[in-house]
Structure 1
């Protein structure tokens, strides 16, 4: 059985929507994802560090459309691991575990990999929205489109724009 490493933030969890809502609640200013194309997350969200260090940020992030359904289907054919950098921000480790348990109850604790760097990951396939994770990976890579990578040329990575598109490719 082939193995897949799936990133959490920006691939399963819609952290852009979470940042936009938290920014609006704090400032009254409604940000648009269109205006963020080509910007790093730090450039797009001036209060990023404050928000990711806020209780509830990771635990209450909304799901990306189609993620749960397609991951559940993929898990019938592949050994799935959710791989998330969860040690940089103190609150994220516990909150990410709770979020995954809530939204993906079919993913066991043995399939949750929380780390600092993803360079050690050795699955057949990796799905991520950041080049820093895909560029060092030795297997097949899929770049999940997010505003910060939308203008970039994925070169050695296949770009995917949705979970439905991934379903067509992987199943």
Structure 2
């Protein structure tokens, strides 16, 4: 029997971009901010003077992202029952392509390269489930969307939500 499929986003789902933005900001300005600054604020607007956008274009930003707690173990568990694809809209940030590939090789070496999809628009993805932190990707999901909690999506109510990887496993296993 064919396994059901899951598309899993990278940034904000497997990789902790919020932590990375705050870390870069503190190194640059000397000011420490808490993750609460992301609450209901569009990600690109969280830091002043377009710094989020600057960091997204900084070499090493994507390569050194911390892994979300529980992500590695959860993806391994999901692979036992599902065909798992890692899907990232990486085309907007050309530096990210190689860095994301290297990041996945380090942290998720058990994901075959055939199951890694770097694209510009996730509406082309046709899986049974999609886990993402952005509604712009989930609103067009052909399968069942699962919204992974992030500060910027705190007030979103029109998708089933998972606050962490433990909750993802409770929903899907």
Which TM-score band applies after superposition, normalised by the shorter structure? Answer: over 0.9
Whether 2:103 is the aligned partner of 1:99: answer yes
TM-score normalised according to structure 2 size: 0.96
CA deviation profile, 1:15-56 (whole Å, cap 9, x unmatched): 000000000000011111113200001111230111011110
What 5-or-longer segments of structure 1 have no aligned partner? none
Partners of 1:169 and 1:78 lie apart in 2 by: 13
CA contact (8 A) 2:125 2:142 kept: no
Partners of 1:36 and 1:165 lie apart in 2 by: 21
Which residue matches 1:59? 63
* Aligned mate of 2:151, from 147, 154, 165: 147
Partners of 1:125 and 1:152 lie apart in 2 by: 18
Number of equivalences: 169
Q: Post-superposition, which runs of at least 4 consecutive aligned residues in structure 1 deviate over 6 A?
A: none
Which residue matches 1:25? 27
* Aligned mate of 1:115, from 113, 119, 126: 119
Which residue matches 1:165? 167
Which residue matches 2:7? 5
- Secondary structure of 1:119 counterpart: helix
Which residue matches 2:128? 124
- Secondary structure of 2:123 counterpart: coil
- Secondary structure of 1:102 counterpart: helix
Which residue matches 1:72? 76
Partners of 1:164 and 1:36 lie apart in 2 by: 22
Partners of 1:82 and 1:45 lie apart in 2 by: 28
Partners of 1:138 and 1:115 lie apart in 2 by: 16
Partners of 1:64 and 1:145 lie apart in 2 by: 12
Partners of 1:90 and 1:141 lie apart in 2 by: 27
Which residue matches 1:38? 40
What 5-or-longer segments of structure 2 have no aligned partner? none
